[in-house]
Structure 1
Amino acid sequence: MRVLITGGTGFIGRHLIRALHQRGAEITVLSRNTKAASVLLGPKVNVIDHLPSASELNNIDAVFNLAGEPIAEKRWSQSQKRKICDSRWQLTEQLANTLENCANPPVFISGSAIGFYGNQGNNWVDEHTPIDEKTLQQDFAHQVCFQWEQNALRVAQLTRVCIVRTGLVLAPQFGALKKMLPPYRLGLGGPIGSGQQYMSWIHIDDMVQLLLFLLDSADAHGIYNATAPQPATNAEFSRQLAATLNRPHFLFTPALLLKLALGEMAQLLIEGQRVKPTRLLDAGFNFQYPDLSSALHQLLDEPKV
């Protein structure tokens, strides 16, 4: 199998590449910095700095479109918002334009995020939940995801397209959990704001396996939520993380403080979505880590000597 990956140097991309290598896949990664990417990914990965032509994509079996400026790394200034949007929208549009000219277009598996749903409070949402676009017009995360998805779905009549709305990916070396671990290990952890906002999460191993599941499932198409079936409130997540680390859990971070420190980006922490992966479950995908306790223990427990 021949696979093209955008965002292959990212954390999820690197784990996906490792799994695809185990299958014997031929992997090409699109990167702006080919030298650094080659050093990071190793000699088995073909790294290119330009989008393949339509004729070249005819020889590719699948495209994983995972690239994007990290949404939670920097305060949302206007220039940072533009970077976040352009890194997703422009590349996805370019891929769609090329796929439209393919005689034999590859399967297209493209990223998105559960930020698409906006702040849903305690309400369950899944891929079938009606979304009020007017209500969410001012929600930046929704705007990012909506246009990102639309650009990918343009080619849904030409090839099999899967949109993956990813939740909080759990791995100690990555993202939110990486940032949370130092204070929690010092016994300084606690909920954020009210703590009642839901965190829809997924173990990194399940994230990779569901991408492969969608690749292998000839009938898979459309929107899929990449979240474990048991989301947790922020307070529950905080308690479970502290317990896994055998640390106290008594501090909290006021929402107002976060708004002052992070501005609009604070909504990622003080708002939430209670997401169910209905379509994955209906398709027969089995989560190895469906509950938070098993996921955190697998990720954080010290190996037994």
Structure 2
Amino acid sequence: MRRIVVAGASGLIGSALVRSLEADGYEVVRLVRRAAAGPLEVAWEPEAGRVDAAGLDGADAVVNLAGAGVGDRRWTAAYKRTIRDGRVNGTRALAEAVAGMDRPPRVFVNGSAIGIYGETGERVVDESAPAASGFLPELCVEWEGAAGPAQLAGVRTVFARTGLVVAKGGGAWGKLFPLFRAGLGGRMGDGRQYWSYIALHDEVAAIRHLLERDDLEGAFNLTAPEPLTNRQITDAMARVLHRPKVFTVPAPVLRVVLGEMAGDVLGSARVVPGRLLDSGFRFAFPGIDDAVRAALG
């Protein structure tokens, strides 16, 4: 496997994955939302469901991590459509292009999220758990379903259900780090909700593991082995950054500021990576302190 196509190559996870692959000598082809500037770029319009299928020729693998950030803005009706269309229409376009190739890639790794399980409370869930109802779970079901053409064509298809990525450059932790450094960090709501996190290093390593193992297909949770409560995580942030943890953001305030998205922050998702561990994957930064230090270092 030498030629890998990556959609979402400029995002938090995608850019880290591309750096890792290129450092090991892989040829990475990026999907771009403009005219391709050379042989290592392919034009596409994910919301419109269009991709230059000819640009995928010769690919050994396709990785789709594209999609508007779920936590980037308040969930207006228009932004929810943007979140949905980019993921579902983009995935379907890629899957159909893959299915129509004379020599399809060996594997199609499609992004997904642990949001598919919804609110789990204190209940531990793995990949065998059913999808919940609500915007995020239903989006994830549709998102994964859009990969159907690749599966029907016999391409090994993997769904990387990612948790909260511990990194400075974006996502939930991209917002937490500046707050804690300023001494403004603290728990959210009652702090008893579980957060299923993963260090960016382990996220990239897990995706590469899924790419390289020909016997792995279907859904895999990409989360650290032991989810922690928001209180435990914010305690660790304060501890590692040597800052006080004195502030608490009450649930009603979060609901006013974030709107519907507050449910994702206040909700509890106690998700474990059962299939990933069973496949022999080993985490470099399984604990929250080490994950935070890795993000800083």
Distance 1:154 1:194, change over 3 A: farther
Name the CA distance, whole Å, in 2 between partners of 1:225 and 1:216: 17
Q: Which amino acid aligns with 1:126?
A: D
Partner of 1:5: 6
With 19-28 and 279-288 compared, the bigger mean Cα shift is at 19-28
2:94 is the counterpart of 1:98: no
* 3-state SS, counterpart of residue 158 of structure 2: strand
Partner of 2:208: 212
User: Which of 143, 155, 160 in structure 1 is aligned with 2:156?
Assistant: 160
Cα deviation, residue 4, structure 1: 0.8
Distance 1:48 1:82, change over 3 A: same
Name the CA distance, whole Å, in 2 between partners of 1:198 and 1:229: 13
Indicate if the aligned counterparts of 2:117 and 2:130 stay in contact, CA closer than 8 A: no
Indicate if the aligned counterparts of 1:244 and 1:300 stay in contact, CA closer than 8 A: no
* 3-state SS, counterpart of residue 193 of structure 1: coil
Indicate if the aligned counterparts of 1:245 and 1:300 stay in contact, CA closer than 8 A: no
With 218-227 and 181-190 compared, the bigger mean Cα shift is at 181-190
User: Which of 260, 264, 278 in structure 2 is aligned with 1:282?
Assistant: 278
Partner of 1:140: 135
User: Which of 240, 250, 256 in structure 2 is aligned with 1:254?
Assistant: 250
Name the CA distance, whole Å, in 1 between partners of 2:183 and 2:35: 41
With 169-178 and 238-247 compared, the bigger mean Cα shift is at 169-178
Indicate if the aligned counterparts of 1:230 and 1:292 stay in contact, CA closer than 8 A: no
Partner of 1:85: 84
Distance 1:263 1:218, change over 3 A: same
Runs (4 or more) in structure 1 with deviation over 4 Å come to none
Name the CA distance, whole Å, in 2 between partners of 1:87 and 1:226: 21
Name the CA distance, whole Å, in 2 between partners of 1:280 and 1:166: 12
RMSD: 1.7
Cα deviation, residue 274, structure 1: 0.5
Q: Which amino acid aligns with 1:47?
A: E
Residue deviations 1:11-56, cap 9 Å, x none?
2111111111122111111111458xx7xxxx9x822224232x65
Q: Percent identity?
A: 39
Indicate if the aligned counterparts of 2:200 and 2:295 stay in contact, CA closer than 8 A: no
Residue deviations 1:138-183, cap 9 Å, x none?
x111121110001114422411000000001111122211211222
2:294 is the counterpart of 1:298: yes
Cα deviation, residue 188, structure 1: 1.7
Partner of 2:116: 116
* 3-state SS, counterpart of residue 160 of structure 2: strand
Indicate if the aligned counterparts of 2:159 and 2:219 stay in contact, CA closer than 8 A: yes
2:49 is the counterpart of 1:48: no
Name the CA distance, whole Å, in 1 between partners of 2:7 and 2:179: 33
Name the CA distance, whole Å, in 2 between partners of 1:283 and 1:56: 32
Matches within 5 A, 1:167-186: 167-186=163-182
Cα deviation, residue 248, structure 1: 1.1
* 3-state SS, counterpart of residue 49 of structure 1: strand
Cα deviation, residue 240, structure 1: 0.6
Gaps of 5+ in 1: none
Residue deviations 1:254-294, cap 9 Å, x none?
11111111110111111021110000000000000111111
Q: Which amino acid aligns with 1:127?
A: E
Distance 1:246 1:149, change over 3 A: same
Partner of 1:23: 24
Cα deviation, residue 231, structure 1: 1.2
Indicate if the aligned counterparts of 2:42 and 2:56 stay in contact, CA closer than 8 A: no
Name the CA distance, whole Å, in 1 between partners of 2:223 and 2:158: 15
2:185 is the counterpart of 1:189: yes
Name the CA distance, whole Å, in 2 between partners of 1:195 and 1:126: 22
* 3-state SS, counterpart of residue 125 of structure 1: coil
Indicate if the aligned counterparts of 1:6 and 1:67 stay in contact, CA closer than 8 A: yes
Name the CA distance, whole Å, in 2 between partners of 1:153 and 1:271: 30
TM-score by length of 2: 0.92
Cα deviation, residue 300, structure 1: 2.9
Partner of 2:47: none
2:230 is the counterpart of 1:229: no
Indicate if the aligned counterparts of 2:42 and 2:55 stay in contact, CA closer than 8 A: no
Name the CA distance, whole Å, in 2 between partners of 1:210 and 1:181: 24
